Amino acid sequence: MASVVTGGAGYIGSHLIDYLIEKGDDVISIDDYSSGNYTNTRAKNVKLDLRLAYPEIPKGAIIYHLAANPDVRTSMDNIYDHFERDVKTTLNIMEMARKYDAKLVVFFSSSTVYGEGRIPTTEADKIDPISNYGLFKVMGEEILSFYARNYGIRGISLRLANITGGRVSHGVVIDFIKKLKKNKETLEILGNGKQRKSYLYITDLLSALDVLVKYFKGLYDAFNIGNDDWVTVDEIARIVEEEMKLSPKHVYVDAGEGRGWKGDVRFMLLDISKIKSFGWLPKYSSAQAIRLAVRDVLDKI
């Protein structure tokens, strides 16, 4: 099977490439290396800015589209950069899919499309993002849906919970570890520490992808991919501290209403009944995913 991974030098993309190659796929990785630097020498690695162009790919390939600016926080300030990397790039990918008759496009969307909705949140719940990152993911989903309806290109949008594990480049785990490496006595926590969200370990995401690619037979649909439980930021801090054998004082920096920053969703728990109907279950809980990710990161430092 020919597989194309956009954003293949990044965190999730690099794990996906390794996984696909081990399965025996012929993999093309496309990235401009602006935020990631991973290279698997067994893949065909194409350095390209997907905002400007797209390469020739094999007919009938599966496209896994991850290329984007992954930082939710900076989307509130660097609006045009995020728009181009998150929306314009997606349009170009769908044109690539149309030209080369892609078998399937898997778009890596986000739970941020829901904003702060009902808990747990189902795929049928209101789309109401509170960050530009979430807004641009909604636009990406709409582009996929449009191309499915009008050009017959099959698509799946994955509304992801927080994905964590080795090679993670941003987010609370790496943030806490970096801060504690600099200062073992004090840990700055964005928000009030009571934000509660769902986390999924990277291998559970890969197994979910495997299930959907095998068993989804529709034209287009969106799926929540996350865990059945959630953890608070304070609980994450304790896990990091336990693994680093530290007991720092906590200092909270509240951006208002208990948020870590403007656009921060305080509570996120996805209803994953839809993908469960395909036979998928996460192996690790949210707390276990965090602990495994902390160990992954510490092993590389």
Any idea where the domains of the chain sit in the sequence? 2-163+199-225, 169-197+229-268+284-300
Compute the average pLDDT of residues 97-104: 98
Residue 2 has pLDDT above 80, yes or no: yes
Reduce the DSSP state of residue 214 to 3 states and report it: helix
Specify the pLDDT at position 20: 98
Specify the pLDDT at position 300: 84
Beta strands in 90-219 (DSSP E): 104-108, 155-160, 162-164, 186-190, 196-197, 199-201
Query: What is the assigned CATH class of domain 2-163+199-225?
Result: alpha beta
Q: 172 — phi, psi (to 5°)?
A: -65, -40
Q: How far apart are the first and last CA of the chain?
A: 36
What burial letters (b/e) apply to 57-84, b meaning 16+ CB within 10 Å? beeebbbbbbbbbbebbbbbeeeeebbb
Overall fold of domain 169-197+229-268+284-300: UDP-galactose 4-epimerase; domain 1 (3.90.25)
For residue 89, give the nearest of 165, 25, 11, 31 by alpha carbon.
31
> What pLDDT, in 10s, does the model give residues 41-94?
999 999 999 999 999 999 999 999 999 999 899 999 999 999 999 999 999 999
Chain centroid to CA 41: 23
Q: What percent of the chain has pLDDT over 90?
A: 96
Specify the pLDDT at position 117: 87
Q: 61 — phi, psi (to 5°)?
A: -75, 160
Q: 291 — phi, psi (to 5°)?
A: -65, -40
> What pLDDT, in 10s, does the model give residues 125-181?
999 999 999 999 999 999 999 999 999 999 999 999 999 999 998 899 999 999 999
Contact between residue 131 and residue 83 where contact means Cβ atoms under 8 Å apart: no
Separation CA 220–CA 145 (nearest Å): 6
Q: Do domains 2-163+199-225 and 169-197+229-268+284-300 have the same CATH topology?
A: no
Q: pTM for this structure?
A: 0.96
> What pLDDT, in 10s, does the model give residues 195-224?
999 999 999 999 999 999 999 999 999 999
Q: How many angstroms separate the most distant Cα atoms in the chain?
A: 58
How confident is residue 30, by pLDDT bands cut at 50, 70 and 90? Answer: very high
Reduce the DSSP state of residue 288 to 3 states and report it: helix
Compute the average pLDDT of residues 236-264: 95
Specify the pLDDT at position 255: 86
Angle at which helices 132-151 and 89-99 pack, to 10 degrees? 20
Specify the pLDDT at position 9: 96
What are 119's two structure tokens? 């808990």
Separation CA 11–CA 16 (nearest Å): 9
Residue 301 has pLDDT above 80, yes or no: no
What are 282's two structure tokens? 């996460």
Specify the pLDDT at position 35: 87
> What pLDDT, in 10s, does the model give residues 285-296?
999 999 999 999
* 8-state DSSP, 81: H
Contact between residue 117 and residue 125 where contact means Cβ atoms under 8 Å apart: yes
Beta strands in the chain (DSSP E): 2-6, 26-31, 44-47, 62-65, 104-108, 155-160, 162-164, 186-190, 196-197, 199-201, 220-225, 231-232, 249-253, 267-268
Compute the average pLDDT of residues 107-129: 97
Specify the pLDDT at position 220: 98
Burial category of 47 from C-beta neighbours within 10 Å (exposed 0-12, middle 13-18, buried 19 and up):
exposed
How confident is residue 236, by pLDDT bands cut at 50, 70 and 90? Answer: very high
